[in-house]
Structure 1
Amino acid sequence: MRMKNMCLILTLAICTLLNSCVCVDSLNTVKRCDSADSCACSSGSIRSELYFGLQKPDGSSVAEAEWQGFLDKSITSRFPDGFTVFDAYGQYKEQNGKITREKTKVLVVVHKDGRDDDLKKICEEYEKAFSQELVFRTSSRVSSSLDD
């Protein structure tokens, strides 16, 4: 079983490097797709993750009340059916070589096609509101369901 999981992880990594899309169903069957838009998972859902750094350029942090206000105004209004947010800690290397470490909020939302503009606007609004250079974003095709 462990070897099968390693093969699955390796396949996903290779496809990512080749800039293609893969879908993995509940039976660990991998389907390769030519692009993210053509990937045909069973439900056609997309899982998007947005990574919001909480450190402001002046060294202060985005306060919990500020985050909650942003969440209510910019995220809940666009994805009222639901999403998940969790606290994380990460690091990245700046262009000048400096390693920056900071607390982060990660937004996970599973949605249908056609929500790209909403996600871009959320990123832009956060960048503007909190003087951020960028919000890191990932999106991938997934199979999803709500089981009773």
Structure 2
Amino acid sequence: MRYLMIVKATPMSEAGAFPPDAEKLFAEMAEFNNELIAAGVLLDGAGLKPSSAGKRVRFQGRGNTVVTDGPFAETKELIAGYWIIQCKDMDEALSWARKIPFDDGEVELRPFSEPEDFEGLVTDEVMEQEKAWRDDQAARAPKADA
């Protein structure tokens, strides 16, 4: 099962600033990411630019959208980065989340809705296509160097 580990934004990340010990933190994050890759768990991960570089698209009826430029006010509701990991269950995903080398901050852990969750709601053809896309994503995931 896939899980999204969501790194919550902070006032510092929203300012586009790095902590004073950024070099040490980046080295620890590289080590953590390499551990995820070596374990065959990491599917994707990245840091995100501050919300000032983003836009929100609000839908108000089909085809009617409103675009709002960042920055966005509620830092606690923003995302500064993420990992997508493949684990057997929530306990395994939680064990990885606990290893993130943060001194402070918050990470939210959420399972993906998988194609099987929609069984009976979509056709078998749609289910197979969704599974094929998921398998393709997994095949493209980073691999540890041999």
TM-score by length of 1: 0.43
Considering Cα pairs closer than 8 Å and 6+ residues apart, tell me whether 1 or 2 has the greater RCO. 2
More strand by share: 1
More helix by share: 2
TM-score by length of 2: 0.44
